[in-house]
Amino acid sequence: MSLINIPRIKYLETNNFFLIAGPCVVETEEICFEIAEKVKYLSDKYKIPYIFKASYRKANRSRLDSFTGIGDEKALEIIQKIGKQLSLPTLTDIHTNEEAVLAARYVDVLQIPAFLCRQTELLIAAAETGKHVNIKKGQFLSAESMKFAVDKVRESGNSNIMLTERGTFLGYQDLVVDYRSIPEMQKNKVPVIMDITHSLQTPNQNTGVTGGKPELIGTIAKAAIAVGVDGIFLETHPNPSVAKSDGANMLHLDNLEKLIIDLLRIREAVT
């Protein structure tokens, strides 16, 4: 698995799924640490490889007045601080070539948002940092077509690649998960991740705020583990109702342990 040389990652020998989890966006240092410390505790308890994630800036909000961040370098410094103090690998999204260079100074994994997964120059810029690159599958793309995104990164000299499924558009305001995409993307010989919470978004609402179906988090996650996904991505918060971004589809932090237990049982049954 190409995760082996991610700095500070643990428990790769356990054959458990790995977990990418954290808040949607850096809101405050206190909230980020609260989430990271709780998820780290659970990852140590259940021997699950864990990567802390948080966006340092949200660039694709529907409305101009939506929260986008607390300042790029301030947010990146918080993510870096969490990585160092808690000895965790870290991940954040990037949106431009310049952001790839900036974020690479602070985090271990650069994530390409789904809407940008075909942007050749962005993929090359991420690859050239030498960091691990997690490419989210566009909601408008087939699993088969993601091989070209993988090729762009590999042919730029970087083989540290992950792919993430996050649902496919079904009409204007819904997403559907085609679980055939997991084994299909695994044909690229890279770890494949199921983004649980974003797959449950209901986009393009007339309010300009994306909705969600968090009651189905367990359903999506359990099915992905049963199919054989390598990793789980989810966003979590101690109080999703007041989260500044994507609260409608987040997992409440208090519910994470039960989900982990259920997923580990399924993983044991199918491996």
In angstroms, what CA-CA distances link 180 with 117, 186, 219, 224? 19, 10, 16, 10
Instruction: Name residue 116's amino acid.
Output: L
Contact 110, 133 (CB under 8 A): yes
Name the residue range of residue 266's domain: 2-270
pLDDT tens sequence across 233-253 = 999 999 998 888 777 889 999
Q: What percent of the chain has pLDDT over 90?
A: 80
**Residue 170 scores a pLDDT above 90:** no
CATH number, domain with residue 257: 3.20.20.70
Give the mean pLDDT of the chain.
93
pLDDT of residue 2: 77
pLDDT > 60? residue 209: no
Question: In the structure, what pLDDT confidence band is assigned to residue 210 with cuts at 50, 70 and 90?
Answer: low
What domain count does the chain have? 1
pLDDT at 208: 60
| Contact in structure between 39 and 19 (CB atoms under 8 Å) | yes
Mean pLDDT throughout 59-66? Answer: 64
Q: Which two tokens stand for residue 141?
A: 């793309």
